[in-house]
Amino acid sequence: MTENKKKSRDEAWALLCRYTKSESLIRHALTVEAAMRRAAVVYGDDGADAEEWGITGLLHDFDYEQFPTPDVHPWKGAEIMRAEGYPENMIEAILGHAPYTLVPRRTAMARSLFAVDELSGFVVACALVRPSRSLEDLTASSVRKKLKDKAFARTVSRDDVYESARELPADLDAHINFVIETLKPIEHEIGLGRA
């Protein structure tokens, strides 16, 4: 096992790219990274490390493409991260983002990862079906309306979206707006907006 030390974003990116080739999964990693960097400021304590939070978001699903089943993901990713020397608090947050692991979300980082993961993907899906294909004209009320439509983005767990806002704790509309505003600066990078 490698000694635990602070990892750089470049090291995390290399790990992500080693296991993930899907453009959509890489874009999802980038959305969750951006949301986690901002969550460190909004939901973390005064000592929250935005770089560490961002890297946690970037890597939360890095093993999913190769190990997509609940009996393996995110367990395999945790094993790989431990071997690479990533800190246990990051690994625990990643394990906790999947409710079926039953790993408790004891830290603000873990609760935030759970809160931004599903919602970030859902917000992107909402933007993709708008004529603008942009976050610029997306509102919390239109996201809430889509949450009620069970046929839309059906793989997104509505229960997880609602539960995660309660765990933060945060008002759901405020949290939706937080995600929308956080992703606006990177919308072209994640396949949104008009080229």
pLDDT digits (tens, 9 = 90+) for 155-170: 888 999 999 999 999 9
Nearest to 35 by CA among 141, 134, 180: 180
| Topology (CATH) of 9-186 | Hypothetical protein af1432 (1.10.3210)
User: 87-109, pLDDT tens digit by residue?
Assistant: 999 999 999 999 999 999 999 99
- In the chain, the amino acid numbered 131 is P
pLDDT confidence of residue 4: 59
Single pTM value for the model: 0.93
DSSP letter string, the chain: -PPP-PPPHHHHHHHHHHH---HHHHHHHHHHHHHHHHHHHHTS-TT--HHHHHHHHHHTTTTTTTS-STTTTTHHHHHHHHHHT--HHHHHHHHHTSGGG-----SHHHHHHHHHHHHHHHHHHHHHTSTT-SSTT--HHHHHHHHH-TTTTTTS-HHHHHHHHHHTT--HHHHHHHHHHHHGGGTTTTT-S--
Q: What is the pLDDT of residue 6?
A: 84
d(CA 69, CA 5): 29
Contact 112, 53 (CB under 8 A): yes
Asked if residue 3 has pLDDT above 80, the reply is: no
Locate the domains of the chain by residue range.
9-186
- Encode pLDDT of 46-99 as tens digits: 889 999 999 999 999 999 999 999 999 999 999 999 999 999 999 999 999 999
